[in-house]
Each structure stands twice: as structure tokens, then as C-alpha cells.
Structure 1
């Protein structure tokens, strides 16, 4: 039976673990290696780690940190940040990472996905689209942004999803900028639109503040990856830092809810 994947997403800035709100106001929440150790103990389905500064500063991936993360991690690990060539992707996979994610570089040159798929296998290539609602009285729909939401791109997100999976992406991650860190629930309309066209595994990120929000996403989209940041690093209305993750019984309950609506 296919089961939804529940995935903590950790953001790295200057080697530390941070959490943002709408891609702004990064708050330091601890050491990423310690976080990985805790998620190991809690038997997380997967782990996504994104360096949010690498692309902005045109920096190489932090291979020393990646090696430490991979050595510690006992679950499938996806790493993103600063990857612009298939050689970099292959080096990261060689360190023990299962998947690499790219965003800005894929939008500039979708053929990079094809090259990466040839080098490391399509199943290891993840395309991340950071999406927000267009602003302005006459604006409708969504737009894709890169460089921590500082650069907007004209191509419609749904068209981009189709282009990137055709180019070689083995997984699509759709991340809501508007919902990031708000803990008020996923953008279900955006998720539904993407789910309608995607033919590879889909992961949805941005907005989860409770297991009920994950349940709503799964009821809306079926078996997809449900990723979250704040939900798994904060606890309570005052956002006290506390690494947490659903128990096996809680995950089983979410799965039953999906099957009941199937």
C-alpha cells in the first residue's frame, strides 16, 4: 500500500538551523546535526535540508556539512542549495545523500534536469518551486520566485511543473511562500492545481501547523509528500523550540483518513 510521506524540512543559514516566515525573519533554532539525531530517534519518513543562502550568494554547496548530515542521517535525505551542475549533484549523492533539489538553476536551464537525471538517476532529482499569489488589483493566479522570493518569474507555475517533469525531474516540491511559517494550513488550491498535472511524486510544503492540516492536504490530494518546517521545530502558541514528529499511531491514523476518502 502506498503511504504518504511526512517530511521535516530544515533550513540552513550560515551552518545553523533557522526557520523563516514568508521567507523572511530567519530565527535561529539550533544545530542541524542535533536535529537530525532527534528525527532519527523519531523515525522520520524522510528529511529535507535546504541551504537558503547558497543560491543567493552564488556559493558552492557546503560539502563538509552535507557529509556530516549524511553520515548521521538514518532516513532518506534530500539536500538543496547551490547546486548548478550534474557534477555537483553526483558529488553530493556520493556522500550518501539520496536526493538533490534544485530551483533557480532549473528555471534558468531546464536541460540541467536532464543532465542530472543521466548522472544520478531521475529518482534522485527534485525540482523545487517556490510559489506565491500574484499581488495587485488586476492580478490573478500564482507566480514562481527564486533567490528567497526576491526574483519573480513570468512562467505560470502549472506550466513550469509540466516542463520540469518533462525535462527530467523525478519529484516536484511545491512550496507556498505566502504560507511559509504561518502555521495556518497548506494552500490547498495550489496543491490541488499541481496535483492535477504532476506525473511524478509530489511533495507540498508551506503552512502546516498541525497534524489536522496534514490530514486536510492528504484528503485533498491523496498520497503525496506532506512537508513542514515550523510544525516540527516549534511547539505551542509562543513557538518554543522543540523538535517533534508524529508517532507511528498518529501516522497510521492519517493514512486511514486518506484510504477512507479514496
Structure 2
């Protein structure tokens, strides 16, 4: 039986764990290594780490620091942030990253094609930030914070030609609000590709994860849900366990 994926998504800024709202106002959460250790204890099955400042400030990836985090993880780790070339991807894989998430460089289709052909479609994740305006879904530039004229369906159509095996779709207007997944839009996006899609933005509860899985999504990521006890409350690292975990994964 193919199990669903439930993934904590951790954001880094200046090598510290932060959380954002609508891609703004990064708030300090804690030490990423200690957080990884806590997820280990909760038998978390997979984690995504995104450094939100490396590309924005044109900084190089700090491979030693990323390796020190990954060395604490008992689960597969995906990493994104500051990837400029194939050598960056190769180095990240060498230090233990299972998958590599590419956002800003995804506009360079030649680069994506080379990355997929070199490292395999199961290794490369293309991360796309989106905003829904009316009935249309547009791509969002997280660096300039401008909604592009490019529609999501057009971008995915071109990237499908590059052999992309997985997408990470981030709902900008849902980020950090714990207001619930946009299941209607998720259903629309699932029709755009046969590749795996992980959706992030809005997770409000374990029941919300379960109900969204039932709509057809098979992979969901969340930040605030696994970091806070509730919106605007203190930090409380958590992850589904026991019956909750089995219910979601086998939905």
C-alpha cells in the first residue's frame, strides 16, 4: 500500500529556525538541530528544510552547517535555498540530502533539465509559490514579492517537459495562518501533472490534514501546525502519532 506523506517544513534564516506569515515577518523559533532531535523522538518520517535568505541575499550555501543539521536527522531530509548550479546539488547530496528543492532557478528550464538528467527525477523538487486571484492561479516571486503574470498551469506544463518528478506548491496567502488548506484549489492543481505534488500553506489541525488527503492530495507539508500548539501561542514541537498517524497515512 502506498502511504501518504506528512512533512514538517522548517525555515532557516541566518542559520536559525524561523516561521513566517504570508512569506513575511520571520519570527525566531529556536535551534534547528534541537528541533530535528525532537522530530526524531516523534518518529517523524521526513523533513523539508528551506533557507529563505540565501537566494534573496545572494549568499552561498553553508554546506558544513547543513551537514551538521542533517547528521542529527534519523529521517530523509530535503533541502532548498541558494542553489546556483549542479555542483551545489551534488554537494548537498554528498552530505546527506535525499532531495533538493529548487525555486528561483526553476525559471531556467535548461538548468532543470540538466538537474533531472544528472541526479534523477526523484531527487529534484521544483518549488513554486502561488497566489490565487479570482479563478486564476498565478506564480509569485518571493524575492521581489510580486505576483507574476505567469499562471501556474503554464509553468507546470513547461516543467513537465523537463521531467520534473515532484513539485512543492506553496500557498503564499495561507502561509503561517493555520486557516485550513484550500482543498478546491488543490484539486485543480492535481489535474496539471502526474508527478508527485506536496502542498504547503494553511494546515490547521491533524483533522485538516486527514480531510485534505481524502480530496486526493497524497503529500502535505506544514510549518506552524508542527511548531505551535495553536496560532500565536508558544512553541510546541508536535507530530501525529499512534492512531492519528496511521489514520492520515493510510487515508
* TM-score > 0.5 by shorter chain: yes
CA deviation after TM superposition for structure 1 residue 149, in Å: 6.2
CA deviation after TM superposition for structure 1 residue 239, in Å: 1.8
C-alpha change, 1:117 and 1:30, in structure 2 (3 Å) is same
CA distance in 1, matches of 2:174, 2:165: 25
C-alpha change, 1:82 and 1:238, in structure 2 (3 Å) is closer
* Structure 1, unaligned runs of 5 or more: none
Normalised TM-score (structure 1): 0.91
**CA RMSD of the aligned region, Å?**
1.5
3-state SS, counterpart of residue 235 of structure 1: coil
- Alignment deviations for residues 35-75 of structure 1 (CA, whole Å, 9 cap, x no partner): 11111111112100000011111122221221112211111
Aligned to 2:227: 233
C-alpha change, 1:239 and 1:149, in structure 2 (3 Å) is farther
* 4+ residue runs over 6 A deviation: none
3-state SS, counterpart of residue 20 of structure 1: strand
- Alignment deviations for residues 132-184 of structure 1 (CA, whole Å, 9 cap, x no partner): 123xxxx6412111234613322210221222232132211111001000101
Aligned to 1:220: 215
User: Any residues of structure 2 matched to 1:169-248 within 5 Å, and which?
Assistant: 169-222=164-217, 224-248=218-242
C-alpha change, 1:149 and 1:204, in structure 2 (3 Å) is farther
CA distance in 2, matches of 1:255, 1:77: 18
CA distance in 2, matches of 1:38, 1:149: 34
User: Any residues of structure 2 matched to 1:43-122 within 5 Å, and which?
Assistant: 43-107=43-107, 109-122=108-121
CA distance in 2, matches of 1:237, 1:82: 29
Normalised TM-score (structure 2): 0.95
C-alpha change, 1:72 and 1:150, in structure 2 (3 Å) is same
CA distance in 2, matches of 1:198, 1:238: 36
* Structure 2, unaligned runs of 5 or more: none
CA distance in 2, matches of 1:205, 1:156: 18
Are 2:139 and 2:151, in contact at CA under 8 Å, matched by a contact in 1? yes
The alignment of Structure 1 onto Structure 2 pairs a total of residues equal to: 251
CA distance in 2, matches of 1:105, 1:237: 32
Asked whether 1:151 is paired with 2:146, we answer yes
CA distance in 1, matches of 2:144, 2:32: 23
